[in-house]
Amino acid sequence: MLTLYHSPRSRATRAYQLLDELGVLDRVTVETVAIARQDGSGEPDPRNPHPEGKVPTLVHDGEMVWESAAIFLYLTDMFPEAGLGPLPGQKGRGGYLSWLAWYGDVLEPVVHFRFLGIDHPGLFRTFRGYDEMAARLVSTLETRPYLLGDTFSAADLLIGSTFGWLPQMTPDNDAVRDWVARVTDRPAARRTAEREAAMA
């Protein structure tokens, strides 16, 4: 049994969209749970197995997978038919794994430090700076429409969702802006927004 613990308008939104992109919403149980929100509303839900009360949380036959990048990798490996993530041995697997790791290791901290106005040389040496993060996306997306090449992957969904939530953090570059528009205005994204509006 596969269960996604989800809360509307949270980081779990993109995991819910991924299930739609994979065409497996009917094969996964989605449990909508409460979470503690940034504005002080909400609280951890005892039904959510994540020890910190966070989402998304994926449970497969009693084994928990947490952190968005891990969940994306788990799901795209489990449901390869949609072609949203290269499998081991396939061309592009190294880039796919690297972009998933880059999301949590570089993008999330760098974007949030900038959003919060936090600056320190130690952070730059550890995570890189905003300009370096932006340059990495620009150099990639000025040469191809998606992170892995000509086709959309779950890495595009994971990384692009950041700029969907925080558009003011989008690098000032036409190629990047066009990519964000492509990955955040997919039919599955619109369906997810409609479903979450109904849940709220």
pTM of the model: 0.95
Give residue 16's identity as a one-letter amino acid code: Y
**pLDDT score of 40:** 72
8 Å CB contact between 22 and 76: yes
Task: Give the per-residue pLDDT at 41.
Answer: 83
Burial class (CB in 10 A: 0-12, 13-18, 19+), 40: exposed
Per-residue pLDDT band for 101 (boundaries 50, 70, 90) equals very high
Q: How confident is residue 118, by pLDDT bands cut at 50, 70 and 90?
A: very high
CATH topology of domain 2-84+188-199: Glutaredoxin (3.40.30)
**pLDDT, tens digit (0-9, with 9 covering 90-100), for 1-53:** 999 999 999 999 999 999 999 999 999 999 999 998 878 788 888 999 999 99
What's the confidence (pLDDT) of residue 102?
98
Instruction: Give percent of the chain with pLDDT exceeding 90.
Output: 88
**Beta bridge pairs of residue 4:** 30, 58
Decide: 96 and 155 in contact? Cβ < 8 Å.
yes
Question: Model confidence over 141-160: pLDDT tens digits?
Answer: 999 999 999 999 999 999 99
What confidence score (pLDDT) does residue 168 get?
Answer: 96
Average confidence (pLDDT) over 56-70: 97
% of the chain beyond a pLDDT of 70: 100
Residue matched to tokens 């969209």 = 17
What pLDDT score was predicted for residue 122?
87
Place of tokens 């990519």: 179
At 4, is the secondary structure helix, strand, or coil?
strand
Segment 100-120 mean pLDDT: 95
**Which pLDDT score is estimated for 82?**
97
Compute the distance between CA of residue 58 and CA of residue 2 in angstroms, rounded to an integer. Answer: 7
The CATH code for residues 93-186 is 1.20.1050.10
Which pLDDT score is estimated for 43?
87
Beta strands 57-60 and 29-32, pairing class: unpaired
Assign 171 to helix, strand or coil.
Answer: coil
Sheet holding 63-66, edge to edge: 29-32, 2-6, 57-60, 63-66
The radius of gyration of the chain's CA atoms, rounded to the nearest angstrom, is 17
Q: Does residue 200 register a pLDDT over 80?
A: no
- Domain range annotation of the chain: 2-84+188-199, 93-186
CA–CA separation, 99 and 158 (whole Å)? 9
Give the pLDDT score at 62: 95
- Report the mean per-residue pLDDT for the chain: 95
